[in-house]
Chain A
Amino acid sequence: MTAAITLDHVSAGYNGALVLHDIILSIEPGECVAIMGRSGAGKSTLLNTIYRRYTDSAALIPQASALVGNLSVFHNVFMGCLDRHSTLYNLRTLVWPPAAEIAAVTQVLEAVGLEEKLFARAGELSGGQQQRTSVARAILNGRPVLVGDEPVSALDRVQAGEVLRILSARHETKIFALHDIRLALEHSDRIVLIEGGRIVLDEPCGQLSYQRLLPYFEGELQ
């Protein structure tokens, strides 16, 4: 068995407070898993724990888009592959981007529909555009495991579905935190539900329905 992700009785937290309790989770290569739960349930902590343990094989789309506002969209996306080039090449790209890199970044931006913003300052973009820049950066990063913390929260449902489809096509294994039940059912193979830092449900989407998941989100807008 060579699982892409294995968490074996993992607990985690910060500032001395435990957020995750005794998590057992195994994700196979090629799987697309949606992590769900109310806000504060521990989704972000779980994803960050996974990313920290698998930095070598994982690309991250953080919850806040985490862009450098003073740099262009091109440079922000290019940051996804800084480790593939020499420092000298990276510095050169900062000042005078080579045509090959522009082409590569443009291609990724086309996938998320942001190619016309190639050289716009990231700080000037709308929230949705910033999120798509962050997605493009993860695609260019190209590592087999994608860890996305609410990667489409700032997009409408049509755009969100489109972006999730693209991410699925580009990365082998996907782990998304999502809050939209329909989106999760439609775009993932398996749903893991967290409540109070513990996994309370872990089933393939085929066996789940909107009605069955809804009670877990009582009081939250769906």
Chain B
Amino acid sequence: MKRPGILPALTYRSATLIFLLVAFAAIPFADLGVSALHPGAEFGRLVGGILSPAFAAIEVRSVIWTVAFAVLGVALGGTAGLVLALVFDRFRTVRLVAASLRSVHELFWALFLMQITGLSATTGILAIALPYTGIFAKVFAEFFEEADRSAENVLPRDTSALSRFAFARLPVVGQQIKTYSLYRLECGMRSTLVLGFVGLPTIGFHLESYFKEGHYAEAAALLLCFYVLIGTRRLWARAATVPFLVIGSLLVLPETTGNSSTWRNLARFFGHDIIPAPLRNSSLRDGHTWSNFGEWAWRITAHQIGPGTVQTLILAQIALVAAGVLALLLYPMVARRFLGRFGHYLGRATLVITRSTPEYMLAYLLLQLMGPSMLPAIIALSLHNGAIIGYLLGRQADQLPLRADAPTGANLYFYGTTPVLYGQFLAYLLYRWELILRESAIFGILGLKTLGYYVDAAISELRIDTAALLLIGVALLSMCVDALSRNLRRRLRIETLPVRLSAEHRSNAARAAPYAGAPQAQQPVV
């Protein structure tokens, strides 16, 4: 039975058109100018620097701390996420806590935590661990939900919950949990690098000053070091090395300065700073207090959350479409069917390096080169996300069964692979939507007028209460986009398509070890 409705049925075509229209409508409102005086000359110096990396300048400690913060942050987040995942479908509160934790970006967490724990290792580790707890909880809960329950159903009835879990649940999803956690370490390292841009002693801290001063050769050496670490992740981050990584990371952490004031800061933070200004030191029974509070909240909503949201959405929608276009253009680069054996290896390397480049860092660099406008942010977001989606699509294009007399080249692209992969493409893009939005908000710290701009300003003026209200706005916005994305995926009937980046790693693992147990269903999400 056809459901009558006011809206026309959503198809791949209409969904694509809607997103294109929104993005084009947003362009006139976006500042896309290049204001730097000699962007070409500066770009030439950048290329020169990349071609002659100054390895002697590498700050080894910052590299070690980047790895250590990431290892401990991901380990802590993974452990907490696993615990939450066990009760995820039982308690609404747990789901809500997880959703709130992951809807706030690592950088925002870091800016907040600094108020309590200062520029310390604790800040760096918790800034990763908190949002990752939310992500891990959701993903692990999905693993458990989709897991084969048949062995569990046969267990004697009075088996304790813990025995049940240890014997019939954990071993079933253990492999998935392991692969996903190790993959997350890669994301964690990108995140810790970026934390350096707000002052923590990771690679990003030095990159920021190198970029600012135009020391591209030094920056290139440091970045190269980072790429090598990411590229060799599967060699040094394995199940067997995890205990050593964790203990080693604990041993090399930088000494905390001014740790003694943490408790005092904590008391001040929760007892004063985060309480909305109109409510401080005033009677909560007084109607006047509440009208002041209403006025305060309205002022922030109207003058900061409102315009910040509009700018965030403008950036996110343009970047989303640009990333999609780029992904469709790039995917043949990693497909053997299009570029052949050597070509596709080269393409893969290019896209892996592009996607390993933290988009925040890229935006920072491009802003230095091109001058302040939305253009650098759009380029950074679309390159990073376009590379991620393009890579996944290209790998899938190679796995498509094609008839023996299938066309080649452009004909294969337009009549074969692209139409077949289009649903998958939309699934990836809709999934990245929320991430692009979160990142768009964050780019405000770089000076764009998105939500992060107001958060950063409020924190630097020590108006923590304002920053907290703004963050609630950011969280609500990203939850709305997440819900809308899920709704669209359902209506397009693409909600079961895999969009988890680690799914690809898993299939690699399965190929290397064909005995790896039960056939693994492709997992949706992340």
Kindly list chain B residues whose C-beta atoms are within 8 Å of the C-beta of A84.
156
B160 beta carbon closer than 8 Å to chain A: yes
Contact with A along B159-183 (1 / 0, CB 8 A): 1101110111001101100000000
Kindly list chain B residues whose C-beta atoms are within 8 Å of the C-beta of A134.
154
Interface-central residue, A56, A62, A80, A83, by most chain B CB under 10 Å: A83
B159-A70 in contact (CB<8A): no
A120 to chain B, nearest CB (A): 11
Q: List 12 A-B contacts (CB under 8 A).
A: A60-B154, A62-B154, A79-B155, A80-B156, A82-B160, A82-B163, A82-B167, A87-B160, A87-B163, A121-B515, A123-B515, A134-B154
Kindly list chain A residues whose C-beta atoms are within 8 Å of the C-beta of B515.
121, 123-124
A87-B162 in contact (CB<8A): yes
Kindly list chain B residues whose C-beta atoms are within 8 Å of the C-beta of A137.
154
A87 to B172: give the CA distance in the assembly, Å.
19
Which of A56, A78, A82, A123 is close to B517, meaning CB atoms less than 8 Å apart?
A123
A7 to B172: give the CA distance in the assembly, Å.
35
B64 to chain A, nearest CB (A): 33
- Classify the interface of chain A: helix, strand, loop or mixed: helix
A90-B167 in contact (CB<8A): yes
A68-B171, A123-B516 given. 14 additional CB < 8 A pairs?
A: A55-B157, A62-B150, A66-B151, A68-B151, A69-B518, A76-B151, A79-B151, A79-B168, A83-B156, A83-B159, A87-B163, A123-B517, A123-B518, A143-B156
A56 to B158: give the CA distance in the assembly, Å.
8
B166-A94 in contact (CB<8A): yes
A208 beta carbon closer than 8 Å to chain B: no
B413 to chain A, nearest CB (A): 40
A137 to B152: give the CA distance in the assembly, Å.
13
B167-A79 in contact (CB<8A): yes
B518-A82 in contact (CB<8A): no
Interface size class of B (residues with CB under 8 A): 20 to 34
Q: Which A residue's beta carbon lies closest to that of B172?
A: A68
Kindly list chain A residues whose C-beta atoms are within 8 Å of the C-beta of B155.
79, 82-83
B153 beta carbon closer than 8 Å to chain A: yes
Interface size class of A (residues with CB under 8 A): 20 to 34
- Classify the interface of chain B: helix, strand, loop or mixed: helix
On A, residues with C-beta under 8 Å from B are 55-56, 59-60, 62, 64, 66-71, 75-76, 78-84, 87, 90-91, 94, 121, 123-124, 134, 137, 141, 143
Q: Which A residue's beta carbon lies closest to that of B516?
A: A123
Kindly list chain B residues whose C-beta atoms are within 8 Å of the C-beta of A143.
156
A182 to B151: give the CA distance in the assembly, Å.
30
Q: Which B residue's beta carbon lies closest to that of A142?
A: B156
Kindly list chain B residues whose C-beta atoms are within 8 Å of the C-beta of A141.
156
User: Which 3 pairs between the two chains have the least Cβ-Cβ distance?
Assistant: A69-B517, A66-B150, A83-B156
A189 to B150: give the CA distance in the assembly, Å.
30
B149 to chain A, nearest CB (A): 9
Contact with A along B485-517 (1 / 0, CB 8 A): 000000000000000000000000000000111
A91 to B160: give the CA distance in the assembly, Å.
11
Kindly list chain B residues whose C-beta atoms are within 8 Å of the C-beta of A71.
167, 171
B166-A81 in contact (CB<8A): no
Kindly list chain A residues whose C-beta atoms are within 8 Å of the C-beta of B174.
70
B157-A91 in contact (CB<8A): no
B163-A81 in contact (CB<8A): no
A66-B154 in contact (CB<8A): yes
A91 to B516: give the CA distance in the assembly, Å.
23
Instruction: Give the residues from 254 to 306 in chain B that come closer than 8 angstroms, CB to CB, to chain A.
Output: none
Instruction: Give the residues from 172 to 196 in chain B that come closer than 8 angstroms, CB to CB, to chain A.
Output: 172, 174-175
Q: Which A residue's beta carbon lies closest to that of B157?
A: A55
B511 to chain A, nearest CB (A): 16
